[in-house]
């Protein structure tokens, strides 16, 4: 009986570790690939596939623009990824709180608020143009409303969102490098 309990505990621990690795490593890659490559695997939940379809075009366009502007400004992908890694939930919450408290009229003001609260070891100013081109005030108001209500339980957690964003940028940068090196 003791061996049976040990085997069950070991199997449960292995399954839990496998699920954790899948969630932290493989799922962000799968979601990013689905966004970048215009294909959702059939085994993804419907709500994830719906969100991917909804955000695919704007995310791809924004990622391409960010990469192009970063490349022109000699901002490395490592710097961008490090900034994403170093951005804590409290940084985002402080930016959202300031956005809620102020009467923000345009995306330039939103960019300034995020620039103030998100730590970066490079000048983020070259990324203002793609931000303004791909983020609307409606998107900002919708995000603020969701953060206030905390009702959308199907959203990715912050770590998962960061991992997906990083994977999308890495994949789009590889695509960008292939295109620019081919010319």
Domains of the chain: which residue ranges? 2-182
User: For position 151, what pLDDT does the model report?
Assistant: 41
Query: Is the Cβ–Cβ distance between 178 and 36 less than 8 Å?
Result: no
Give the confidence band of 109 by pLDDT, cuts at 50, 70, 90.
very high
Place of tokens 């690795």: 21
The residue assigned the tokens 């919708």 is 142
Q: Contact at 8 Å (CB) between 106 and 138?
A: no
Q: Per-residue confidence at 124, pLDDT binned at 50, 70, 90?
A: very high
pLDDT greater than 50 at residue 153: no
| Residues 147/99, Cβ–Cβ less than 8 Å | no
State the residue for tokens 């102020």: 102
> Which residues contact residue 41 at a Cβ distance below 8 angstroms, ignoring those fewer than 6 apart?
30, 34
46 pLDDT higher than 90: no
Enter the pTM of the model: 0.73
Contact present, 158 and 20 (Cβ < 8 Å): no
- Residue 56's pLDDT is 83
User: Given a cut of 70, is residue 136 above it in pLDDT?
Assistant: yes
């Amino acid at each position: 009986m003791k061996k049976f309990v040990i085997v069950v505990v070991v199997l449960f621990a292995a399954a839990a570790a496998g699920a954790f690795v899948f969630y932290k490593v493989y799922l962000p890659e799968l979601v990013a690939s689905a966004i970048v490559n215009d294909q959702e695997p059939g085994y993804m939940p419907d709500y994830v596939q719906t969100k991917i379809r909804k955000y695919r075009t704007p995310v791809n366009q924004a990622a391409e623009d960010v990469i192009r502007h970063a490349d022109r400004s000699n901002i490395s992908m490592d710097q961008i990824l490090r900034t994403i890694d170093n951005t804590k939930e409290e940084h985002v919450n402080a930016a959202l709180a300031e956005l809620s408290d102020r009467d923000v009229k345009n995306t330039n003001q939103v960019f300034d608020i995020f620039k103030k609260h998100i730590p970066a070891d490079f000048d983020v100013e070259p990324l203002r143009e793609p931000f303004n081109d791909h983020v609307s005030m409606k998107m900002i108001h919708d995000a603020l409303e969701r953060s206030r209500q905390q009702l959308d339980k199907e959203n990715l957690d912050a770590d998962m969102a960061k991992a997906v964003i990083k994977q999308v940028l890495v994949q789009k940068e590889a695509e960008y490098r292939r295109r620019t090196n081919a010319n």
